[in-house]
Amino acid sequence: MVLISGRSGISKSALVKTLRAYVRREGLTRVALRGSPYHTNSALYPVIAHVQQALRFARHEHGREKLAKLEQPCSH
């Protein structure tokens, strides 16, 4: 894990853009997670949202069904 921080305009976004282009060229999977000012009470909100979307969790599904999806072997 790498934390990129610094004052505005020192090319943080440009650095990330270049890194993403390298990763794409190597054929690796890129996942972008973003925090939200509306979910500051949930530290893992971006990760939770990603897992819910990737595994297509439905609102009506119970914990048991969600766990079964989590335990399925990765399809890619």
Binding site for ligand ATP (CB under 6 A): 8-14
Tokens 């270049």 belong to residue: 18
Instruction: Give the residue with the Cβ less far from Mg ion, 11 or 52.
Output: 11
Instruction: Rule CB under 5 A: choose which of 4, 11, 13, 33 binds Mg ion.
Output: 13
* CB closer to ligand ATP, 13 vs 42: 13
Q: How far is CA 71 from the centre of its chain?
A: 19
Question: CB–CB of 52/33 below 8 Å?
Answer: no
Residue given tokens 């282009």 in the structure block: 21
Q: Which does 8 bind (CB under 5 to 8 A by kind): ligand ATP, Mg ion, none?
A: ligand ATP
